Amino acid sequence: MRVEENKPLAPFTTFGIGGPARWFVEAASEDEVMEAAAWARAQGLALFVLGGGSNLLVSDDGFDGLVLRVGLRGVAVDDVERAGEKNYRVAAGEDWDGFVERTVRDQCAGVECLAGIPGTVGGTPVQNVGAYGQEVASVIKRVRAFDREQDAYVEFSAAECGFAYRRSRFNAEDRARYVVTRVDYRLTPGGAPTLRYADLQRVLAESGAAPSLAEVAAAVRRIRLAKGMLLVEGDADCRSAGSFFKNPVVSEDEVRRVAECSEKEPPRFPAGDGKVKLPAAWLIEQAGFSKGYALGAAGVSSRHTLALINRGGATAREILELARQIAAAVEVRFGIELEMEPVLVGL
């Protein structure tokens, strides 16, 4: 295990923001994860687990503890295809989009709508990554993780992960307790693609015939590109952490109140249990922030209102100030409290 000191974190984040980690370790094996956690404990240091850095806002002062980058690699596939399923055991440090590409090549359905999402496999169960009608919760079979409290490896079934919209036990009640090292996904060989999302249906309707998994994944990438949600070198619109706020899930009463506060009827999506998901992007626009809005070097993406971006040399402080102004405007206008989506480090 190689411990580095004062390692700049900005290059490890899609925002390109953040000061140094006081200590930094890249773990390539489960033993190294354990060793790093023990080292942090012995030194009385806080520990932060870094994956792909695509959902992070790191403080300008950095992190005064140990940053553990999970670098475990490898994908193992079940030789025997059980009735209608194929299992992939994927090390947490694998690139998520690379894994999606592989499953599509293998003609296995289940994650094709999650193409083009930046980050690593280990982060997917933590925030229950979801997009275009799919969520990893529906294909995760098991999560293996290091338990810092018990100092041992443990495994969770999907039911034990406590998945909900952008939520799991790993980012809620057990936040910071586990280091995810492997995720097992159960996919469907020869399965049909998921075509639930209106945007996606629209894009694919043009081609006529029933689309293949590869066509759906390609369409998702095109939509993401158009929204600045695909990483493209040198494009400031994607220097972000994806969606900066969660879409608020509200009651019918609250929807009525929002409608009364606006000339336009709010777009709405069913969220189960009689609840409604309102697009945070729409609320933000109605509250006066348009695409391309700038506050110093921080800004709103010119292609999607929900992405706050680093226009070049932005500080975490500037991003947070813009986020604060946006949330305050939405609160004043609609009485709805927006919740931030990225993980804040050292803030």
Residues 173-212 that bind ligand EPU (CB under 6 A): 199
Could you tell me the smallest distance in angstroms from the CB atom of residue 111 to ligand EPU?
13
Known active-site residue 166: yes
Reference 54, options 231, 245, 221; nearest CA is 231
Which of 18, 119, 242, 248 binds ligand EPU (CB under 6 A)? It is: 242
171 binds ligand EPU (CB under 6 A): no
Establish if 330 lies at the interface with ligand EPU (CB under 6 A). Answer: no
**Window of 5-13, 82-90, 184-192, 241-249 that interacts with ligand EPU by CB under 6 A:** 241-249
Of 32 and 97, the one with the shorter C-beta distance to ligand EPU is 97
- Decide if residue 100 touches ligand EPU (CB under 6 A): no
> 243, 301, 311, 318: which is the annotated catalytic residue?
243
Of the candidates 144, 166, 182, 311, the residue annotated as catalytic is 166
| Selected binder of ligand EPU within 246, 257, 317, 333 (CB under 6 A) | 246
Which member of 13, 194, 305, 310 binds ligand EPU (CB under 6 A)?
305
Q: Is 275 in the site for ligand EPU (CB under 6 A)?
A: no
Say how many C-beta atoms besides its own lie within 10 A of residue 86's C-beta. Answer: 23
Binders of ligand EPU in range 115-144 (CB under 6 A): 131-132
Q: By the criterion CB under 6 A, which residues form the site for ligand EPU?
A: 131-132, 199, 227, 229, 242-243, 246-247, 267, 279, 281-282, 285, 291, 304-306, 341
